[in-house]
Structure 1
Amino acid sequence: MITGWGELYKVVAAVTPFYVALVLGFGAVKWWHMFKTEDVDAINRFNCYFISPFFAFEFASHFNPYTMNVKFVYADIISKAIIIVILLIWANCTSKGNYSWAVSCFSLCTLSSTLVLGVPLLRSMYDEMGADLVIQSFVMQSLLWFIILLFLLELHRARDDYSSKLDDKIVPINNEDPGDFSIEVQENDKHTHQEINKATPPFFALLKIVTIKLVTNPNCFCCFIGIAWALIANRYILSSFRSCLVN
């Protein structure tokens, strides 16, 4: 808890490096033009597929799963489940609600940057107890909520790709009037453009595409590997080491 200037100094000192790096990164692109757009895309992909997975593995592998706070885990699950129900009601029962915004709102409401900012912040406020709670929240986020969110995003993207491929079959039949279009469909040339847009892609084909993308994304399995290592290490390796010390 922050009860004086000393504790406030610890909090500021813990979060300052994060915000300094954030401002420098923004300024390097926006103000000083040190990086081009393609450079930023490359850096983002490198962070996504290398830095973030190893960062997550580092925290998960040094975490003790046998000392998790069960009440905290239940509270985390219940709070996110309530948010999901609210977003589903909003997306299906209101005119402004839609699938994309529901997924985006769930990500913004629940999947925060728990490790980068949360660990140093709560460690400065509550010592190691606060850091342990942040890591527990991250573990639940990586093992359950992040995968669900990524599955929904990849499913939505696969459906959009399917619709765009159908739209590619629309070709102009009158060079003088580019607004006159016909739809080339092998089964029946009388299909309309609206019927193509309403076509539903095969579920198992979409599921196969999404599964392959999830399996090849290291962010989906890095935490699983880290937790598996933590379970083995805390159950057998550490217990064996302690027994050797006692003997």
Structure 2
Amino acid sequence: MIGWADIYKVVVAMVPLYVALGLGYGSVRWWRIFTPEQCEAINRLVVYFSLPFFTFEFTVHTDPFAMNYRVIAADAISKVLTVLVLAAWAKWSSKGSYGWSITSFSLSALTNTLVVGAPLLNAMYGRWAQDLVVQLSVVQGIVWMTFLLFMLELRKAGILVTTVAATSNGGGDVVSVELQPEAKDVEENAEVASRPSFCSLMMTVWLKLALNPNFYASVLGVAWAFISNRWHFEMPSIIEGSVLIMSRSGAGLAMFSMGLFMALQEKIIACGLNLTAFGMVLRFVAGPAAMAIGAIAVGLRGDFLRVAIIVAALPQSISSFIFAREYGLHAEVLSTAVIFGTLVSLPLLVACYFALGFIN
């Protein structure tokens, strides 16, 4: 059973992250040290240097031949289940929509695995739990972020088709009563011509991922992990030292940058109370519930079940907000989920950790 000493150990591991976040927030909102332009420069430093090295350093020390495929399968089942439910909701519910299905998937399935998850799970259950978080982080970065980008590109293509159709109709409605036969042929030909193929969509997705340093940090880290564990190579100390000197700043600078981001917003809750509550329910209830179903389906028990659920209850992925802003899809909802979710995650995760201690 989990005691107060265990909870204190978790709090000790988490509070430094919130100190870094508070320093970032105060440096802009209270002390006026950084301008918005300088905040953007710090954010670019984090995105292009600190976090990629942080991700790479964690990934290269995993053993791909000893990965817990049952936990990865549980995670996959939970996300596939989420996709199916949201697809059914978008198709058959009068209130469902494709755009909100994408946003709901981001809110319920994509978490801040490394920056918050790695130190948290290490404090809760030990190094083996941290290794599981790293494994799930790699899968999320390579598989599920690709899926999210593909869905966003598909939606963007749909908007493009509608725009072209509207233009071909003289700038009026997309389709008028859906026109003469000749005009209908022109409409359909314009729509088909503007609809990108699956290959072109995937090319766009992979190009965006290739421009994301954290993506190729994960890929390179996994590649080196396979090579080093297969042939028992050790990374040269000069290279490892170069990686470590940058990666050690990763978690602190990431949380500091989050504080800067929070301070630059006009208000923490940017999307209204109803949508905030909706996002928090998806992040801290629906996501863990789906993971619990997936974990039970593959037979996870004990600490493996607990770790899987806590990973699913981590704060919102920052990358999901970045993509939402880039594609113009409910960015204010994801912004609120990242900010508010990060603030409330410490007490919620500690409570979850304590409650799961009673589960056999």
After superposition, where does 1:66-215 map in structure 2 within 5 Å? 66-157=65-156, 162=160, 191-195=170-174, 199=191, 201-204=194-197, 206-215=201-210
Shift in CA distance, 44/194, structure 1 to aligned 2, threshold 3 Å:
farther
TM-score by length of 1: 0.74
2:12 equivalent to 1:28: no
Deviations 1:86-114 (A, max 9, x none): 11122222233222322222122121111
1:216 maps to 211
Shift in CA distance, 135/154, structure 1 to aligned 2, threshold 3 Å:
same
After TM superposition, the runs of 4+ consecutive aligned structure 1 residues lying more than 6 A away are none
Larger RCO (CA under 8 A, 6+ residues apart): 2
Unaligned 5+ segments in structure 2 are 176-186, 235-360
Which amino acid in the other structure matches residue 2 of structure 1?
I
Unaligned 5+ segments in structure 1 are 171-182, 240-247
Structure 1 residues 71-80 or 97-106, which shifts more? 97-106
TM-score by length of 2: 0.53
Does the CA-based 8 Å contact 1:158-1:210 persist in structure 2?
Answer: no
Does the CA-based 8 Å contact 2:157-2:195 persist in structure 1?
Answer: no
Does the CA-based 8 Å contact 2:86-2:101 persist in structure 1?
Answer: yes
Which amino acid in the other structure matches residue 129 of structure 1?
W
- Greater Rg by CA: 1
Alignment partner of 1:9: what SS? helix
TM superposition shift of 1:159? 5.7
Determine the C-alpha separation between the residues in 2 that align with 1:221 and 1:103. Answer: 24
TM superposition shift of 1:12? 0.8
| Percent identity over paired residues | 42
Indicate the RMSD between aligned Cα atoms, in angstroms: 3.1
Structure 1 residues 228-237 or 95-104, which shifts more? 95-104
Determine the C-alpha separation between the residues in 1 that align with 2:96 and 2:34. Answer: 37
Q: Size of the alignment, in residue pairs?
A: 218
1:2 maps to 2
Structure 1 residues 92-101 or 107-116, which shifts more? 92-101
TM superposition shift of 1:207? 4.8
2:227 maps to 232
TM superposition shift of 1:56? 1.5
Determine the C-alpha separation between the residues in 2 that align with 1:45 and 1:163. Answer: 34
